[in-house]
Every structure is written in C-alpha cells, then in structure tokens.
Amino acid sequence: MSALVEVIDLSKHFGGQKRLFQAPRPAIRAVDAVSFAIKPGEVVGLVGESGSGKTTVGRTLLRLTEPTSGTIRYAGTDITHISKSDMRAYRRKMQIVFQDPYASLNPRLTVEDILGEAFAIHGLGTGAERRNKIVALLERVGLNAAQASRYPHEFSGGQRQRIVIARALAVEPEFIVADEPVSALDVSIQAQIINLMASLQRDLGLAMLFISHDLSVVEYICDRVIVMYLGRVMEEGPVEEIFARPQHPYTRALLSAAPVPDPRAKRRPVVLTGDIPSPANPPSGCVFRTRCGFALPACAEARPPLRALDNAHRVACIRTDLP
Amino acid sequence: MGPEADPFLLSVTGLATHFPTEGGVVRAVDDLNLTLKRGETVAIVGESGSGKSVTCLSILGLIDPPGHVASGKALFRRKSGDVVDLCALSERDLRAIRGDEIAMIFQEPMTSLNPLYTVGDQIAEAIEEHRRFKRREAWQEAVKLLTRVGIADAEVRANDYPHQMSGGMRQRVMIAIALSCQPSILVADEPTTALDVTIQAQILDLLRTLKASDAGMSIIFVTHNMGVVAEMADQVMVMYGGRVVESGPVDDIFQTPRHPYTRGLLASIAHAGSRSRGERQPLAAIPGNVPSPLDLPPGCTFEPRCGDARPECRLAVPPLETISAGRQTRCIRWRELT
C-alpha cells in the first residue's frame, strides 16, 4: 500500500540567522534529515526524550511550523511549499490533538461553538445538519447533547480532551497527529482516553502519528515505532520487533529505563549516564555516541545510515556485532 | 519486634488539613495516619487532588493560611531522642527541624533554586545555616556533596548557575542541599515527574544508593506513577479524594490489592499483555472523573466510580479497617472482594 503521509529528509533548524554586529548564534537542529512514511489506517509511534525533536516533527509535518528543508507528501502530493489557501484543503484531512486540553480550547466559547467553528472554517453543512453532527460527535467521544452548551472550564481534564478529540474528528480527517494526548491527564483517566482513541482509530480507519514518551502506551496503541534522539531517527520498526528485539543501544537504554509496575521485577542497571547533548552543538557522527556504551572511534566519523534489518526494521547503528 | 527495638521515626495520626474557599471548605486531607520507621521508604501514591502533596506540606508545617491543619498529630523523633509534635510546634522550632532533620525535594528544582547564586553557594549556604562550618569548609563540603550526588567535575560545576544545568543535574543539586544536614527524613514530592525517563532512572538509582549508604535515612516519596512506587517503596499508602484508601507493604499492594481503586489503577496500566496476537484488548479503564475536592461524595469518595459499589457505600465514610498487621483498607466490602 502506498503511503498516506511521507516525509523525506525533513529538517527544522531554529535560529542561526545573522545578527547585526554579532556572530550568528548556532542553529538548533531540532529535526535533522528525518524520513518516514505512514500508511492509511496505520498508527506510528514517535518516541524520544525532551529535545529529541518529536513534537517538532509533528508540527512541521502539518506545516504549523515551516520546515527548513526536506519534502512532505500527502497522498502522493508534495505539500511542502503549497500556499496557505491550498493548504486549507489538506488541513481538513490532517488534524492534531495537543497535550494540554486546558490550553487548547477557547474558554469563551461553548462546546457547540468550538465544534461549530470547525465546520464553519471548512464550510461544512448547514445549521441543522451541524447541530445534529455536533450531538453525534459528542456522543461518539463519550459526552452528551446536554453538555453542548457548556464552557470548557465546566469540564474535567479528561472530558476536555474528549472535546479536543471531537473537534479534530469534526472535519472527518484521515490522519491525526496526537502529541502526548494523555500525558497531562490523571492516571485513572488516561486509560479511558487511550481506549477512546484506539476505538476511533479502528472504526474510522484513521492513520495516526502518536507522539509520546510513555513507552507502555506506545506499545499498546501503535503498529510501528520510530525512536528519535537529538533530532534524528535511531531506529524504526514494527512495534513487536522494537519492544522484543531492540537493536539500537539508545532504544535498549530507553526501554530499560522505564519503571516497571511490579515490585518483584528484577531491577535493571542504569545504562545511560550523563545528559542529552545540546542540539546546537550535536556530537559528530552518531549523535548518541557520547552516551553509548558500545561506541567505537568510527562512530565519531560519519553519520550512521539507517540500515535495513529484516521485517521493515531499520537501525542507525554501525555495530552489527551487538549481543 | 517490640516497640523498643523498632521505634517510629514519624507517627502521624488523625491528620486533617482544611482550606477555606469561597465555595466552601476543601478537606484536602482527612483522617490520615502514617508511620515511618528508620531507614524505610513510604510511597504516597495518588492523582491530582488526592491530598498526597498536602499531606507532606502539613507534616512540614508549610500550609499557607488560610489553609490549616484542623486536627491531628505528627510525632517526630528528633536526633536528640526527644519526641515532638510537628503540628503543635512554633514556626521557630519548626524551622530548626525543617531542612535540618527533615529535608525536602520537589518536582521542579528550578523553582526551588535561586537563579542569582551559583549552586555551590547555595549548598554552602545550607551547610552554614545548619552546621557550624566556616565559609571555606562549607564550600569544600558542597563540592563533596556534589560529587556524592553524581555530578562529574564537581569543583568546576559548583560555580555554575542553575540555568547552566540540565533538569536532572538541578535535581541532583536539590538532593545535595537536602543531604547537606544529614536529615533523618527526606520528603520527595514527585522528584522525577518533570524529568525524562533515562534521567528519572538515574535519580531513582541515586536515591536508592544514598539510602543504602546512609542506613538511617527514611524517605517519604510522593508520586502518581505505579512503576516508580514499585521501584522505590517499602510501604505504600494509596490516597484518593483526601483519604488513604489502602496501605501496606509494597509487594502486598501490587500482588493482592484490597481496595477497588488500587485494583482499578493497577489494571488500567497498559502493558505488554494488553495486546494478544497483535489485537488490542480495551484497557480496563476506571469510568467517571476524579471528584472535585469541593464536592466530595458523602460516603466512600470512590463510590461513584466503583464497579463494586453498593447503596450502603454512600451512607457513611468507610473506616480504615485493618486486614492484617500493617495492612489496611477503607472499603466496607474488602472481605468479599478479592
């Protein structure tokens, strides 16, 4: 099946412009030559720590931030440089759900207004049709018609995230970027929202880029996983492969660092020491080599290419001899 | 073991902390008991509004008016051997204990550090405040502490300002300040929540190592993450809506939870078994919403969300019942539910 969303060599650098009478600041390479593709109906997880560039990938992909270089394709069409008005047609197909449902809803609008706005912007339906659709949407996300006239502050965090999801679905998108959609929610509410997103994804056949630092949630909801570190892809593969047979030393470290909710589980040694280097001054060659227990002198010389293993599993590590 | 052989370090009984608001009195913490022994880590686990942070602030005498400790005792055994009630001490006496015998670290180290002073100065200041050290000695002690909390090149890094450090390093500095006075109790309120998972692993490892090398220190560890609880705790207290709903040794809490909320929380966590042959099984989510602290249900606070609730659960606040030694639950149906 051909890709629905495809990015090729996508880069986003912040800063680095010349300043009057001063030396230019080094550019922050938030995203550095990242390529991947998402098939229709596929859920791809994007994992990594803060500064890995995962949020910037999501935003750049939707052109909420303009890429520095690279190509973004949607259903085969290059949308990297199309105009804002042409982009509107694609915005309908590509929606985003943000982390913080407190910040992403206008406090002055009722739920009905918030959802109605989505229809109005894209010129969908008449008044009565919209009203019916709003009720159907609310019910689909686990709210009810009586709540349509309420304001965001009258809802809990979990309910607000349901409203944000309803708004994203209002325009019947094919693809959703979900940026840490449950991280701001209470633990007992997270599973509700994950279940909702999983059922919507399945029923509507949505493709999704699921950005998260919570590996257990990614393992649950995603078909494929991309692991990022310092703006680059370290490893990519089917979810079972990545979790059962992680190949990149960084992926292994990340998986072993997640605390396991079982006091009898054997405690794994801390493998990663030190902090993530600055993206303004990334290490040469492999960006992970300064924290890697398996680094060789050659790792400093060239950027390791994504090497294909079996099963659509790719890893950016030159060591083929790791245990 | 008799009480002589294993005396408590901290014994909190019947603690209630109230915040008067325009909408009524928020009973942030109600009827809370906690016993902390020397060298033990007690984890307080709960969601936002469960009262876990307010419990710590109450013990430390850091509740801002008009909030106040409405009732209860917090008996603390001082290094001198004297037992004092932290809830009845003057601010002046509390100050002598806080930072010295009971230290604390918080979620966001940046807000607790002064941006205008180097981290070395700030640690040295804490040392001078509580121990009879000259400035030079205090600085040297600060460098030693930075090394102990795992900061490489401590002599150089002591001259850094907080903004020059990463979040993980700043939390290490906070731990160094907390340790500077060799406290009997370290109160750690979500100390790794703002950190990345690989940095979190480092900080948890550091706290475990410090505790192992400093056998006397006890930790009250506040978190919402059951994984962190499993890695850190000896004893666990699960809080919901301002009350402890279950408490006991960590293994028991995870193996045989005896309150529907604890069971629900553990069951709702996504794990490898949530998918069988690639097919996602729906997660066992707890329905409903976290109750508003201004509008708590009259009986059991968890009753509106509980699949095992009966009409009688609504009648009165269930008492905390003892199941076995050191094991308690606030569920009237605990005998029939397993």
pLDDT, residue B272, reads 58
Q: What is the pLDDT of residues B126-158, one digit of tens each?
A: 888 877 888 899 999 999 999 989 888 899 999
Give exposure, A22-60, as e/b (b: 16+ Cβ within 10 Å): eeeeebbbbbbebebebbebbbbbbbbbebbbbbbbbbb
The CATH number given to A39-63+82-222 is 3.40.50.300
From CA B331, how far away is CA B338, in angstroms rounded?
12
Which chain A residues touch B110 with a CB distance below 8 Å? none
Q: How would residue B1 be classed by pLDDT, with cut points 50, 70 and 90?
A: very low
Residues 36-55 of B with CB under 8 A from A: 47-48
HEC secondary structure over chain B: CCCCCCCEEEEEEEEEEEEEECCEEEEEEEEEEEEEECCCEEEEECCCCCCHHHHHHHHCCCCCCCCEEEEEEEEEECCCCCEEECCCCCHHHHHHHECCCEEEECCCHHHHCCCCCCHHHHHHHHHHHHCCCCHHHHHHHHHHHHHHCCCCCHHHHCCCCHHHCCHHHHHHHHHHHHHCCCCCEEEEECCCCCCCHHHHHHHHHHHHHHHHHCCCCEEEEEECCHHHHHHHCCEEEEEECCEEEEEEEHHHHHHCCCCHHHHHHHHHCCCHHHEECCEECCCCCCCCCCCCCCCCCCCCCCHHHCCCCCHHHHCCCCCCEEEECCEEECCCCCCCCC
Contact A275 B169 (CB under 8 A): yes
C-alpha–C-alpha distance, residues A181 and A51, integer Å: 18
Q: Binning pLDDT at 50, 70 and 90, where does residue B2 land?
A: very low
For A259, the closest of B47, B228, B254 (CB atoms) is: B228
Looking at residue B99, its pLDDT comes to 83
A71 within 8 A of A3, measured Cβ to Cβ: no
- pLDDT at res. A122: 78
Q: Is B251 on the interface with A (CB under 8 A)?
A: yes
Averaged confidence pLDDT in chain B = 91
* Of the candidates A270, A287, A57, the residue with the CA atom closest to the CA atom of residue B192: A270
ipTM exceeding the 0.90 mark? no
Average pLDDT rounded to a whole number, residues B93-106 = 91
What residue spans define the domains of chain A?
39-63+82-222
Per-residue model confidence (pLDDT) at position B141: 93
A256 neighbourhood in chain B, CB within 8 Å: 201
Q: Which of A185, A182, A236, A178 is nearest to A207 (CA)?
A: A178
Contacts of B229 in chain A (CB under 8 A): 261
Q: What is the pLDDT of residues A112-148, one digit of tens each?
A: 999 998 888 877 778 888 889 999 999 999 999 999 9
Partner residue facing A192 (CB), from B198, B251, B285: B285
Cβ within 8 Å, pair A259-B204? yes
Quote the pLDDT of residue A121: 82
Chain A interface, Cβ < 8 Å to B: 49-50, 156, 158-159, 186-192, 194-195, 198-199, 202, 213, 215-217, 219-221, 240, 243, 253-254, 256-265, 267, 270, 272-273, 275-276
CA of A71 to nearest chain B CA: how many angstroms apart?
A: 30
Does the distance separating the beta carbons of B280 and A198 come in below 8 Å?
Answer: yes
Please state whether the predicted TM-score (pTM) of the whole model is above 0.95.
no
Distance from CA of A273 to the nearest CA of B (A): 7
Q: Is B236 an interface residue toward A (CB < 8 Å)?
A: no
B128 to chain A nearest CA, in Å? 30
Name every chain B residue with its beta carbon within 8 A of the beta carbon of A263.
230-231, 233, 250-251, 254
Contact A219 B272 (CB under 8 A): yes
Q: What is the pLDDT of residue B3?
A: 43
* CB-based contacts of B142, cutoff 8 Å, min separation 6: B120, B123, B124, B127, B158, B176, B180
Question: Tens of pLDDT along A264-308?
Answer: 987 777 778 777 888 888 999 999 999 999 999 999 999 999 999
Work out the minimum CA distance from A228 to partner chain B, whole angstroms.
14
- Note the pLDDT of residue A24: 72
Per-residue model confidence (pLDDT) at position A123: 77
A-facing residues of B in 152-171 (CB < 8 A) are 166, 168-169
Q: How much of chain B, in percent, has pLDDT values that exceed 70? A: 96
Query: What pLDDT, in 10s, does the model give residues B240-294?
Result: 999 999 999 999 999 999 999 999 999 998 765 566 556 778 898 999 988 888 8
Query: Is B284 in CB contact (< 8 Å) with chain A?
Result: yes
Q: What is the mean pLDDT of residues B44-56?
A: 93
Cα separation, A12 vs A34, in Å, equals 10
pLDDT string in tens for chain A (323-residue length)? 589 999 999 999 988 776 777 777 778 889 999 999 999 999 999 999 888 999 999 999 999 999 999 999 999 999 999 999 999 889 999 999 988 888 889 999 999 999 998 888 877 778 888 889 999 999 999 999 999 999 999 998 899 999 999 999 999 999 999 999 999 898 889 999 999 999 999 999 999 999 998 899 999 999 999 999 999 999 999 999 999 999 999 999 999 999 989 999 877 777 787 778 888 889 999 999 999 999 999 999 999 999 999 878 999 999 999 88
Give the strands of the sheet with B185-189, arranged side by side.
B102-105, B185-189, B218-223, B41-45, B235-240, B243-249, B327-329, B321-324
B271–chain A nearest CA distance, Å: 6
Is A199 close to B283, i.e. CB distance below 8 A?
Answer: no
Contact list in A for residue B270 (CB cut-off 8 A) is 191, 194, 216-217, 219-221
Contacting residues of A for B196, CB less than 8 Å apart? 49-50, 213, 276
